[in-house]
């Protein structure tokens, strides 16, 4: 009888086919996938706190994991492997929120200001800090960092980073009042979104879409956030699993893209129009899997991790992924 392997995924459109059992396992596989809907903060069918439940509690066999936490843990010899599939991608420029009371007109105005993020090593925090430093000339060391949650993985420069832990529910109020100049958040809380409608908070870049498009044109990729991770023991037991898993995720991704061919698929009135606009702007597939298509993005992220003392030094990207998919 085939072994059921649990795979913990967020509720994204590209994962809906997994939850609906629309993605077949390869013929002859000695395993099946049991897709669990596990979020990080919003309530989900199978709970929240996916990353900690995987890394700390070993609760799942396969997990959609923070790129930052995985790379940091792997640099310390953690017994995990991964496939070059990146289920979550975001532009940092779309997730940096400014208090209109803080007197910030451009990125360099953040120097010397209090800023906050979910945790220092949250992937969006790392990406935003890296982009601010290398793209906009604002080193993270020149800001006063406040975090809203404890760190998942310890790292060498943790004490020297001089972080101040604040109460997460109070953070939006501090931002609105201008006590915090900026909040970096991958999933902005409702109070922050309401403050944006009221004009008390705005994004750092007034024309965010244009800035993201410029960034994409410069680097040629939609920045990676999450990666598909599993234990080395699972891959040893089922050596065909990594490559098969890549194929299954691609299958689900293409099914999800086909959903948008129906103008009535989404609740958003202009979802189909936006789909066409983004295809024109970014090309047909800004979610490519495989090592070749994503190597530069991973290397750039590793540079950010090194600058932020989360890892001692960059290491070969090939060390992150299972040997069976290095030719992808």
- CATH fold, domain 92-219, is D-Maltodextrin-Binding Protein; domain 2 (3.40.190)
Please report where in the chains the tokens 């120097």 appear, as a residue.
Answer: 111
Q: Is residue 156 within 8 Å of residue 312, measured between CB atoms? A: yes
Are residues 98 and 201 in contact, defined by beta-carbon separation less than 8 angstroms? yes
Report the Cα 260 to chain-centroid distance in Å: 23
Distance CA 67, CA 129 (A): 15
User: For tokens 């530069």, what's the residue?
Assistant: 296
pLDDT of residue 130: 98
**Residue-level pLDDT at 160:** 82
| Fold match flag (3-89+224-325 vs 92-219) | yes
Would you say the pTM of this structure is higher than 0.85? yes
SS3 sequence, 143-183? CEEEECCCCCCCCCCCCCCCCEECCHHHHHHHHHHCCCCEE
Residue 265 has a pLDDT of 93
User: What is the band of 4 on the pLDDT scale with cuts at 50, 70, 90?
Assistant: very high
- Say yes or no to pLDDT of 41 above 80: no
Domain at 3-89+224-325: CATH code = 3.40.190.10
* Range from 164-168, 175-179, 324-328 carrying the lowest mean pLDDT: 164-168
* Whether the Cβ atoms of residue 118 and residue 147 lie closer than 8 Å to each other: yes
Whether the predicted pLDDT of 285 surpasses 80: yes
Domain definitions of the chain by residue range: 3-89+224-325, 92-219
What are the residues facing 145 on neighbouring strands? 115
Flag whether pLDDT at 177 surpasses 80: yes
pLDDT at 156 over 80: no
What kind and span of H or E run contains 228?
Answer: strand 226-231
* pLDDT tops 80 at residue 13: yes
């Amino acid at each position: 009888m085939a072994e059921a392997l649990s795979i913990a995924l967020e509720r994204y459109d590209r994962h809906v086919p997994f939850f609906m059992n629309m993605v077949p396992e390869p013929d002859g596989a000695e395993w099946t996938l049991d897709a669990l809907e596990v979020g990080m903060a919003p309530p989900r069918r199978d709970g929240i706190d996916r990353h900690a439940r995987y890394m700390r509690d070993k609760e799942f066999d396969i997990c959609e994991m923070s790129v930052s936490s995985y790379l940091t843990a792997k640099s310390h010899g953690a017994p995990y492997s991964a496939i070059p599939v990146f289920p979550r991608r975001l532009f940092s420029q779309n997730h940096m929120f400014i208090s209109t009371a803080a007197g910030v007109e451009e990125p360099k105005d953040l120097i010397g200001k209090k800023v906050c993020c979910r945790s220092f090593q949250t992937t969006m925090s790392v990406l935003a800090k890296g982009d601010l430093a290398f793209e906009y000339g604002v080193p993270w060391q020149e800001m006063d960092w406040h975090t809203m949650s404890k760190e998942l993985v310890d790292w060498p420069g943790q004490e020297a980073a001089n972080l101040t832990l604040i109460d997460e529910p109070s953070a939006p109020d501090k931002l609105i009042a201008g006590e915090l100049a900026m909040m970096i958040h991958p999933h902005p809380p409702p109070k922050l979104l309401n403050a944006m409608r009221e004009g008390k908070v705005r994004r750092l870049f007034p024309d965010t879409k244009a800035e993201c498009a410029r960034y994409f044109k410069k680097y040629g990729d939609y920045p990676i956030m999450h990666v598909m991770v599993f234990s080395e023991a699972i891959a040893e037991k089922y050596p065909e699993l990594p490559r098969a898993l890549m194929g299954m995720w691609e299958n689900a991704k293409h099914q999800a893209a086909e959903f948008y061919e129906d103008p009535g698929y989404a609740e958003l009135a202009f979802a189909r129009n936006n789909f066409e606009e983004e295809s024109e702007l970014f090309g047909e597939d800004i979610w490519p899997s495989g090592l070749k298509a994503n190597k530069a993005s991973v290397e750039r992220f590793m540079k950010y991790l090194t600058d932020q003392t989360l890892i001692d030094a960059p290491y070969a990207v090939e060390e992150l992924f299972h040997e069976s998919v290095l030719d992808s």
